[in-house]
Structure 1
Amino acid sequence: MPEHSSNGGWDVVVTPWHLDEYIPAFPIPADATEVGRPILPSGPVSARMNVLHRVTADTVARAAKPLVLSGDCPTSRAAVAALQLRHDGLAVLWLDAHGDFNTPVISTSGYLGGMALAMLTGGTPGLFDDTLGLRPVPETSVVLADARDLDPAERDALAASRVRRIPADPAAITAALGELGPVPVYVHLDIDVIDGTQLPGARFPSGPGPSLAQIEDCLAAARADIVGAYLACAWLPEHAGDEASRQTVTRLAAALGATLTWDEPAGS
């Protein structure tokens, strides 16, 4: 991987997995570095994910300014652990239709994808081993935008936390980041934050929400502070490489200042 790419300063890293499920159709931009496919052990999904996250963290750590494309949200723990090697006091801007603040204790489904933000803030002790060296991000350094679709216990947990909740609005994002002060920012965006009518084939559509154009404006509002970014491209596997899916990811990356190019036409 180059020390620093010419792609607006971004190094694009792709990890085409949803939890421990490899997604063959996941689109890989022409200039991206794909995370290697490790041999995953048998056993619990979390143990298998931990191996994948270790490989992902090693790849992201070699990127000067990583833009990670992934099929899920929990792999963000690998991206944040890698960024913490270079940046102290990292803040997190999390744009998502969901709160991802469930834990094994309060989750009604046990779905690990719904715990991704809690993983970053230290809310899931014992779920993974500590080989990543991830330091819990203080709740006061987390800004959660949108989160319109919450489980009841998750809503209570967020209300009791010190996570800052805001609408997915450029002005609100600018204000929230300004209140954090001059700190390095990691931005995480799950595509389901976008209005469900604009996301055919999404794994977890969440109905009416901000438009793609509004989310582009949100990313543009945060750009100056971002040292790393992550796009959770959570489409159903058969839709991951659709032309509409690629166009959405391309537009979101462009809002961050990165130009994605593709070797083959969508659907080929």
Structure 2
Amino acid sequence: MTLTLVPYHQDERLPDSSFPLPGPSFITVTRELPEGDVWERLAALFELVSAEVTDQVVGGTRPSVVSGDCLVSEAVLAGVQRAGVDASIVWFDAHGDIHSMESSTSGYLGGMPLRQIIGDDSELLADRLGLRPLTQERAVLVDARDLDPAEAEFLAASRVRRCTVDDVVLPDGPLVLHVDVDVIDKGDLPGLKYPVGNGPSYEAVLASVRRVLATGRVAALDVACPWHPPEGDDDVIRTRLLRDLLTA
């Protein structure tokens, strides 16, 4: 495993202290972002992420990428594809992240990456990264207990696979594993930006992630940490969580 930190929430640079990573050795991807809209800025940053992921896959290691939101998943998948690996995606999240620009009422970009991965609004980011869209049945959405009405409507008519953390049904072949830490019930992981209750426990999520990794088919792991700056014992919990996920 080679660990890469992308310390951003969208195009906002976050302090490295937001990510209490296990061990001192990791690669940090940063750059001075160009002028332009947020998609241009993200494309400039994520081009570096994709290149790093490609180099690691070609070199025979499994990249593990940690960032402040889910958008970097597009860069991770694009990097895996550039390395010649035709991977599907397994998406652990309390939310659907499957809005289009048209369907989103909030305009929050972090609610859109999975929809872009399956081909919608590809001109915004995927095309700039050379990401080849996946067919819907090659996307597995795990948990997603908090859906907006437009997301629920889209998913009901789609071929995106849905399952619980206790019963993850995997597509064939290589996988990119995306874990948004807010898939964990908010009672087990305080300080989240978008907390959702009535979800799986810390241990249930970790056990499920371990089962996916144990298949030996995960080409890259992508962990999104959309949380507020730590308070009280938050750092203790977050350090444990990142250690458990990254060494699962």
Fold conserved between structures, TM > 0.5: yes
Counterpart of 1:19, as a letter, is Q
For the residues of structure 1 that align with 2:191 and 2:94, how far apart are their CA atoms? 16
Alpha-carbon shift at residue 238 of structure 1 (Å): 4.5
Check conservation: 2:55, 2:83, Cα contact below 8 A: no
Worse-matched range after superposition: 205-214 or 122-131: 122-131
| Range moving further from structure 2, 147-156 or 42-51 | 42-51
| Alignment of structure 1 residues 53-72 onto 2, 5 Å | 53-63=46-56, 64-72=61-69
Q: Secondary structure, in 3 states, of the residue corresponding to 1:197? A: coil
Q: Over residues 104-127 of structure 1, what are the superposed CA-to-partner deviations in whole Å (9 max), with x where a residue is unaligned?
A: 010001110000111211112322
The two structures have a TM-score, normalised by structure 1, of 0.84
| 1:7 matched residue in structure 2 | none
Residue in 2 that maps onto 1:80: 77
Q: Is the 8 A contact 1:99 1:147 kept in 2?
A: yes
Comparing 150-159 with 128-137, greater Cα deviation is found at: 128-137
Deviates more, 1:13-22 or 1:55-64: 55-64
Contact 2:116-2:126 at 8 Å conserved across structures:
no
Q: Is the counterpart of residue 26 in structure 1 residue 23 in structure 2?
A: no
SS in 2 for 1:93: strand
Q: 2 CA distance for matches of 1:235 and 1:16? A: 12
**Structure 1: how far apart are the matches of 2:126 and 2:80?**
19
Q: Is the 8 A contact 1:97 1:192 kept in 2?
A: yes
Question: Structure 2: how far apart are the matches of 1:140 and 1:245?
Answer: 33
Q: Which runs of 5+ in 1 are unaligned?
A: 1-9, 256-268
Aligned-pair RMSD on alpha carbons? Answer: 1.7
Tell me which amino acid in the other structure corresponds to 2:13: Y
User: 1:242 aligned to 235, 240, 243, which one?
Assistant: 235
TM superposition score normalised by structure 2: 0.91
Describe how 1:52-201 pairs up with structure 2 within 5 A.
52-63=45-56, 64-128=61-125, 130-169=127-166, 172-173=167-168, 176-177=169-170, 180-181=171-172, 183-201=173-191
The residue aligned with 1:3 is: none
The number of aligned residues is 238
Tell whether 2:244 aligns with 1:254: no
Is 1:44 the counterpart of 2:37? The answer is yes
CA, structure 1 residues 151+38, in 2 after alignment: closer, same or farther (shift >3 Å)? same
Task: Identify which of 199, 203, 208 aligns with 1:213.
Answer: 203
Which residue identity does 1:20 align to in structure 2? D
Decide whether the 8 Å contact of 1:13 with 1:68 is kept in 2: yes
**Partners of 2:226 and 2:112 in 1: CA distance:** 15
**Match in the other structure for 1:266:** none
Identity %: 38
Runs of 5+ unmatched residues, structure 2: none
User: Which residue among 11, 18, 37 is the counterpart of 2:2?
Assistant: 11
